[in-house]
Amino acid sequence: MPKTPLATPADCCGDSAIRNPQSAIRHAPLAPLADYCDRLLKIHDFRDWEGAANGLQVENRGQVTRIAAAVDATAATVKLAVAAGADLLLVHHGLFWGPSHPWTGKRYELLRLLLDNNLAVYSAHLPLDAHPRLGNNALLCAALGLRRPRPFFFSRERQLGLQVHASITRTDLVERLARVVGRPPIVLPGGPNLCRRIGIVSGGAGAELKLAVEEGVDTFITGEGPHWTFGLAEDFGLNVLYGGHYATETFGVKALAAHLARKYRLPWEFLDHPSGL
């Protein structure tokens, strides 16, 4: 059968169409914009990891004129956002995974960089993985050409991933994933050559192979996992495709930025700062 052309992350998120809107740029008040994101992503419905701090993490002086999106909030991406002229940075991994105080040394430098440049930071972790339209998993599934996804991977009191029934060779699926994430995935070929039930959870879900198997998939796509999962995949009879933690989580922030750009008629830009992991 001829292969169906696959969507790219930019195709899924409307990247090229929205980055430079033709209409005049206008100011959008920060607080209502952040509240809208809270409601859209239902951030208060999630029991996220400690330190995720979903929502508005840093305020600016109250207005947004340009949006930047990045996977991670780090000094490097903050500097890229400042160089891009952004006053709102949307991220998947926010500022507070480690100890958030004292604000000295590098932490002080980061805080001062944000405040001196009037840059607000909004972060959405699990809510942006699981969103049915703007989420990493939904968009990765669509980019792979996998249709009719169903909820999958019950963790932290919610279904965080998606699964599909399909009939795709492992080789074909690996090639699709490589094209979508822009690099060859790491493949643990413990399962069948023909993939019939495929589960997708972006990011670092590799340590939870047992959960994936218990939910009935024969192939599991995620970002990364520890060394010992190689033998475990063989024991479980499970194919595992590691597409990269960073690479599988670029979709959501792009989609959220593009959505806000349309709604508020603001320009936006994706700041690509890959970790290689």
Closest CA to 58 of 80, 84, 90, 19: 90
Residue 7 CB neighbour total at 10 angstroms: 16
The string of DSSP letters for 7-63 reads PPHHHHHTHHHHSS-SSPP--EEHHHHHHHHHHHHTGGG----TT---EEEE--SSE
What pLDDT sits at residue 100? 74
Residue 51 pLDDT class (50, 70, 90 cuts): confident
Q: Which residues contact 104 (CB under 8 A, 6 or more apart)?
A: none
* CA distances in angstroms from 126 to 1, 44, 48, listed in the order given: 37, 11, 6
What pLDDT sits at residue 50? 85
User: Given a cut of 50, is residue 5 above it in pLDDT?
Assistant: no
User: Given a cut of 50, is residue 2 above it in pLDDT?
Assistant: no
Closest CA to 266 of 276, 258, 256: 258
What pLDDT sits at residue 7? 41
Burial (CB count within 10 angstroms: exposed 0-12, middle 13-18, buried 19+), residue 275:
exposed
Chain segment 187-203, per-residue pLDDT in tens: 999 999 999 999 999 99
Chain segment 77-119, per-residue pLDDT in tens: 999 999 999 999 999 999 998 777 788 999 999 999 999 999 9
Burial (CB count within 10 angstroms: exposed 0-12, middle 13-18, buried 19+), residue 196:
middle
